[in-house]
Amino acid sequence: MRVLAALSGGVDSAVAAARAVDAGHDVTGVHMALSRNRDLYRSGSRGCCSIEDANDARRAADILGIPYYVWDLSDEFHDTVVSDFLSEYEAGRTPNPCVRCNEHIKFDTLLERASALGFDAVATGHYARIDLREDGVRELHRAADAAKDQSYVLAVMGPDKLARSMFPLGTVASKTEVRAEAAARGLGVSNKPDSYDICFVADGDTKGFLERELGERPGEIVDQDGAVVGAHSGAYSYTVGQRKGLGLGNPAADGKPRYVTGVDTVRNVVTVGPETLLSVSTLVGDRAVWLAPDVPADEATRCEAQVRAHGAPLPGVVTREGDRLVVQLDEPTRGIAAGQSLVVYAGTRVLGQATIVR
């Protein structure tokens, strides 16, 4: 097959491309330039998609002996991922930009361009498994390495994109194995630190980024009875379940910590209260993507729900109502915010995904 290997400049994508070459595919490497700042350079583990990463990707392609190109997707990235991130926070929701990047950039724009150029599939360094059954159904599963599993952020891709994707690292036992393989192949990125946090907030200061982009909007922090207990510089920078950084001047009557229980960006008010007010038993998500054609989406199905990239699975029952997923949890959970990605599993298999609305 003709395979387009997405080379981020890290060790995972380099080894994934190498494995695609070993499998006998006709591989071409491409680096997605996502930053509008052409002078962006970092030496460390924060962020990604910098000039440093582009150079590392080129060196990896040279060692593998494959063609290499750089695609400028900075406008698409800003218009879909960064703009969505800002508008979601401005609406009082808590988005996951990695989910949106995988949806709109890595498995939408990239696959669209790859198909137009005659490629059969795209290979990436994501940690997840694709199992092809005898009846032709493709299943998306958690990676063998649970600590690196990325099926949560990949669930949004849908069955059509899944059919044109390859994840060569899905079966590796650990990141240590990937680094050792990279070193054995002579890939200079074998010891390169992992990127983390939000790539377009390279300093890790999300609140500061939001204030720079959206401006300060001073307002009140109130308790569950409506009494003013503090002040904020913008309701958009708070998220349900948040405990730290509230700067409350008046302690609670019972002396217990208070958490953000509500964010109203229209009134510019943040509400806080005791942890008990965060408990929920039902999760509702819209814009549902269902990845299990053999599992009736409108019938109650036992599942495990996950609401954070590496959060604990929450047992429950899922049903699909139109374009919505509704999960009734076996036990209440806390700290769920609108805008988070809801992914439902059956064991290691991904059943579907939706964006939490309540």
Annotated active-site residue in 48, 49, 199, 303:
199
pLDDT tens across 282-332, in order? 999 999 999 999 998 778 999 999 999 889 999 999 999 889 999 999 999
User: So what's the pLDDT on residue 43?
Assistant: 44
Residue 303 falls in the annotated catalytic set: no
User: So what's the pLDDT on residue 29?
Assistant: 98
For residue 146, count other CB atoms closer than 10 A to its CB. Answer: 11
Residue with tokens 């990125």, as numbered in its chain:
189
Q: What is the pTM of this model?
A: 0.90
pLDDT band, residue 106 (cuts 50/70/90): confident
Same fold, 2-125+168-184 and 216-277: no
Range with the poorest average pLDDT among 149-153, 184-188, 249-253, 265-269? 249-253
Range with the poorest average pLDDT among 74-78, 108-112, 120-124, 250-254? 250-254
pLDDT tens across 234-276, in order? 999 999 999 988 888 767 777 788 999 999 999 999 999 999 8
CA distances from 84 to 104, 188, 235 (A): 11, 35, 17
Domain assignments of the chain as residue spans, ordered by start: 2-125+168-184, 216-277
Annotated active-site residue in 48, 49, 98, 101:
101
Quote the CA–CA distance of 68 and 131 in Å, as a whole number: 29
Q: Which fold has domain 2-125+168-184?
A: Rossmann fold (3.40.50)
Given a contact cutoff of 8 angstroms between Cβ atoms, the answer to whether 239 and 308 are in contact is no
CA distances from 140 to 111, 123, 149, 265, 346 (A): 18, 15, 12, 37, 11
Residue 199 falls in the annotated catalytic set: yes
Q: Which fold has domain 216-277?
A: SH3 type barrels. (2.30.30)
pLDDT tens across 14-26, in order? 999 999 999 999 9
Residue 124's SS3 state is coil
User: So what's the pLDDT on residue 269?
Assistant: 96
Quote the CA–CA distance of 239 and 254 in Å, as a whole number: 23
Quote the CA–CA distance of 269 and 271 in Å, as a whole number: 7
Quote the CA–CA distance of 343 and 307 in Å, as a whole number: 7
Radius of gyration of the chain (CA): 22
